[in-house]
Structure 1
Amino acid sequence: MTGVRLAVGIVALEFAAAVTGFVASTLLPVVAADLGARSSLSLLIAGSSLGLFVALPLASRVLARLGPRGTLAAGMIAYLGGLFLAAMARTAWMFALGQFSAGLASGLLAVFGISSAIRHLDDRLRIRVVAASSAMWILPALVGPAATLGLEHLVGWRWTLLLPVPFVLLGRFLVVRAARGSGSLETPRPLLRTLTVPLGAACVVFSNGLWPLALAGAAITVFGMIAILPAGTARLRPGTPAALGAMVLFAIGYFGADSLITVLLTSGYQVSLGQAGIVLSAAPLGWAVTSLVAARFTTPRLPTAGLTLTALGTAAVAFGGSFPVALAAWTVAGIGVGLAYPGLYIRATTADGFTAAELATAVITAECVGQLLGRAVGGALGSSGTGLLTSYALFAAALTAAAIAARPAGSR
């Protein structure tokens, strides 16, 4: 029964993540214009990821000291405070600080929930949870951008930013309540080594055109990632390390492209914000629907095939130059993720010789490092007009590398 309650909580939390993602991406051009932050996109899009990653080494320590209920209370205070700070922001820095606090709150519970899922859910139920979680993006993908734009028109972007609050509160409450008997994580995260990742990403975010600082920040981030992920990840050693490496590259390419797509279409191709919102929905919708099928028919080669499709779709979005091409290409990209993600996720969280907490922190680290790098580098490059195309070329290259890394061990 604990497993079922936990599965329901994880699925509910994914629905909250979908609502949050669509609200943030749809409002990005409006927020950037209102705050005069078109040249500081990396500040607007990387704050939550920075906060989440700073929280990862702190999560086990907070849980050990406060317990699940205390951690939930602390997380809720940090989340609500951060979101209200972002909603009241008058500068890009204040908005980024609010997003950082909200991301910090998310990270406090992320490792606890996923490690509990690995302990309580067998592989068959876990892959169904992955598929059901992907399906939670269908409704937000269909109505999220339109509802966000309608609400923004009625009450402004600041009140609209608070739309995800009820869904986030419900999802986090369900996960913590279901997993409250699990105890704390087995081992604390290494504090200083883990913090090198957000430190490096912060250098990229705040480089403001200083390329030596941006390159140094990217190098620090990669060094920190190699230090905290399981041995062999950087070399793509067959098995779990290779799957984690593919997860990092996938997150760089897909989440980086997703975070900037409304800006690319509205400023690069003069598409209306409403049309950009339709394109924004295309990939998550394709991902969600395809995952429901792919979860039943996973094969070792499916992740490679899916990531190849995503790489092609991402490149076509950037260089297609029109709304119909962007819509078709981003749909294809989402279908590719739907084919690849269930099998890749199970491969990355199933291995002998690792504890549940180690697998949970490894897969969260892989995705978060990728998101952090993709959004930080993409935001830094995308602050100029031509830099958007450069960003998308980089994202497509990362997805191509992910497809190669995801190949079955015997074919590499």
Structure 2
Amino acid sequence: MTSNREAPSSTPRGGILSRTYLATTIGVFSLIAFNAFEALAVTTIMPTISSDLDGFSLYAVAFAAPLASGVVGTVAAGAWSDRRGPAGSLVASLVLFTLGVLIAGLAPSMEVFVAGRVVQGLGTGALIVSLYVVVGVVYPNDLRPSIFASFAAAWVLPSLFGPAIAAFVAETAGWRWVFLGIVGLVAVAAVLVAPVVPGLRTESHNKPAPRSRMIWATVASVAVLTVELAGSHASIVGVVAASTAIVVVLVSIRSLTPSGTLRAGRGLPSVVGTRGLMSAAFFCGQAYIVLVLQLRWGLTPGQAGLALTLVGVVWAAASQVQARLSRRLTSERAMVIGTAMLLVATVLLWVAVLLDLTPIVAGGAFVLAGAGMGLGFTRTAVAMLAASTDRDRGFNSSALTIADSIGAALALSLCGIAYAAAERANLDPFLAVFGLAVIAAVGALGTASRTTRADEGRLSSATAV
């Protein structure tokens, strides 16, 4: 690839595995796979880490930190990609991710662990937006549902084996070796993607992105983490500080996403909003599903991790379904169906905790959430790229990833506050956090219904908004 021209519209025989795209497909698939293993492994062993480092008060922050800092990496990578293509940001993302994983794995305290997660998040944010730009530039419209479905498929093996391996390693050798093992996976992925990188380098064709975007990204990241750190303290000062931080986050988002995103404007703004709210609902569940299965129903880390395994498989399967139906199922309808499934799943999870049903019901509800994400979440990226051009593909890709990260990070920060407040009031903290997931899912369903521009009809996988 030598330029940022729009990818051709014809579809070569063999699709994303044809000779034209094979090297790129293998490279991006491997990058998503190691990122998936890290996410699932850390989720499985986070209760063990917080106990070992005596840092349960920072449990929610440990999840929110890489999501929040990822916003900065996302903005930087989006601007870099719009100017010179995604090659440079792709390499930088791997370096930052590796450094963050090493810091977390060697952390002597929970505070240092969180700091490592912050650095790791910078790399993750840059990686995801770089890969989206690669997809937008390299693959034609007809192949985009398939390549995004392969992103979901890249979660299958990590889902099948990641939680079990992480639990086994943590119990036998210690949780630190999980992180050190991830460094090895990054090295393997780097070798696989290396042949693709030279072809992604392009000449500068855009003006530098406004410096204000990086400033607002940094402000948003700090504000998101401030929400939880301040709000967890039972004091008027803490409440005021957390409320102020939320306002700052919302103001920052206005400068980092398409105009109208906060008010769910029709078309691309609602696509971005749907992405953020789906992430918020899903990650409230993911961060606490392993914990609730262990504390409420007495499951081991390995047993609780089975929920993550099934979610990964179901997410990938649903994503494959949406790819096969790409010509008949519009992006708007896929997002509406996906968010509706997510809403049913979060309500069912909340009810399972309320009525103290079996862990199978709770885990099954979370698996249903994964199916909704596979169907609707995947199409947010397809719809975003359909609405983008060479000039704004990097910005829109970064905006989608920012909504993803900020939505999840802010929701997790609020979950931390709700969990602590419920415990102080002798209430069930899991009802509080899963209740927040229900609220976010309701919002996602509302924005998904507004992803069609009034003047241009329905979004589809092959037609710009």
TM-score by length of 2: 0.81
Residues 118 and 64 (structure 1), Cα distance of their counterparts in 2 relative to 1, 3 Å cut: closer
Q: Is the 8 A contact 1:15 1:167 kept in 2?
A: no
Alpha-carbon offset, residue 19 of structure 1:
0.4
1:160-199 to 2 correspondence within 5 Å? 160-172=178-190, 174=193, 177=197, 179-183=199-203, 186=206, 187-188=208-209, 190-199=213-222
The whole-number CA distance in structure 2 between the counterparts of 1:356 and 1:64 is 7
Structure 1 window deviating more from structure 2 (277-286 vs 244-253): it is 277-286
Alpha-carbon offset, residue 131 of structure 1:
0.7
Correspondent of 1:302 among 327, 331, 334: 334
Residues 50 and 196 (structure 1), Cα distance of their counterparts in 2 relative to 1, 3 Å cut: same
Alpha-carbon offset, residue 245 of structure 1:
1.0
Corresponding position: 1:260 with 2:280: no
1:122-137 to 2 correspondence within 5 Å? 122-137=140-155
The DSSP-based 3-state class of the residue aligned with 2:181 is coil
The whole-number CA distance in structure 1 between the counterparts of 2:90 and 2:320 is 31
Instruction: Kindly provide the CA deviation profile for residues 310-367 of structure 1, in whole angstroms up to 9, marking residues without a partner as x.
Output: 1221232233133111122112111122221233321122215662212211211221
Alpha-carbon offset, residue 309 of structure 1:
1.1
Structure 2 unmatched ranges of 5 or more = 1-18, 459-465
Aligned length: 412
The whole-number CA distance in structure 2 between the counterparts of 1:295 and 1:67 is 26
Query: What is the letter of the counterpart of residue 404 of structure 1?
Result: G
Correspondent of 2:242 among 197, 214, 235: 214
Alpha-carbon offset, residue 56 of structure 1:
2.9
Alpha-carbon offset, residue 185 of structure 1:
8.3
The DSSP-based 3-state class of the residue aligned with 1:206 is helix
The whole-number CA distance in structure 1 between the counterparts of 2:151 and 2:122 is 22
Alpha-carbon offset, residue 255 of structure 1:
1.9
Correspondent of 1:278 among 302, 306, 313: 306
The whole-number CA distance in structure 2 between the counterparts of 1:184 and 1:170 is 30
Q: Is the 8 A contact 1:48 1:103 kept in 2?
A: yes
1:325-364 to 2 correspondence within 5 Å? 325-351=361-387, 355-364=392-401
Which one has the bigger helix percentage? Answer: 1
Instruction: Kindly provide the CA deviation profile for residues 253-291 of structure 1, in whole angstroms up to 9, marking residues without a partner as x.
Output: 112321222122222443332221112222222111111
Corresponding position: 1:103 with 2:121: yes
Structure 1 window deviating more from structure 2 (42-51 vs 166-175): it is 166-175
Corresponding position: 1:404 with 2:446: yes
The whole-number CA distance in structure 1 between the counterparts of 2:292 and 2:205 is 41
The whole-number CA distance in structure 2 between the counterparts of 1:65 and 1:156 is 44
Among the aligned pairs, what percent are the same residue? Answer: 23
1:24-173 to 2 correspondence within 5 Å? 24-59=42-77, 74-172=92-190
Alpha-carbon offset, residue 76 of structure 1:
4.2
Q: Is the 8 A contact 2:72 2:214 kept in 1?
A: no
The whole-number CA distance in structure 1 between the counterparts of 2:120 and 2:185 is 14
Q: CA RMSD in A?
A: 2.8
Query: What is the letter of the counterpart of residue 351 of structure 1?
Result: A
Alpha-carbon offset, residue 2 of structure 1:
6.4
Residues 46 and 177 (structure 1), Cα distance of their counterparts in 2 relative to 1, 3 Å cut: same
The whole-number CA distance in structure 2 between the counterparts of 1:2 and 1:109 is 23
The DSSP-based 3-state class of the residue aligned with 1:236 is coil
Instruction: Kindly provide the CA deviation profile for residues 359-391 of structure 1, in whole angstroms up to 9, marking residues without a partner as x.
Output: 211211221211221222223333464333212
Structure 1 unmatched ranges of 5 or more = none
Partner of 1:319: 351
Query: What is the letter of the counterpart of residue 361 of structure 1?
Result: S
The whole-number CA distance in structure 2 between the counterparts of 1:310 and 1:194 is 28
TM-score by length of 1: 0.90
Alpha-carbon offset, residue 180 of structure 1:
3.0
Instruction: Kindly provide the CA deviation profile for residues 84-136 of structure 1, in whole angstroms up to 9, marking residues without a partner as x.
Output: 22112222111001111111223344433322321221222111011111111
Q: Is the 8 A contact 1:6 1:179 kept in 2?
A: no
Partner of 1:373: 410
The DSSP-based 3-state class of the residue aligned with 2:258 is coil
Q: Is the 8 A contact 2:335 2:380 kept in 1?
A: yes
Residues 71 and 220 (structure 1), Cα distance of their counterparts in 2 relative to 1, 3 Å cut: same
Q: Is the 8 A contact 1:243 1:348 kept in 2?
A: yes
The DSSP-based 3-state class of the residue aligned with 2:336 is helix
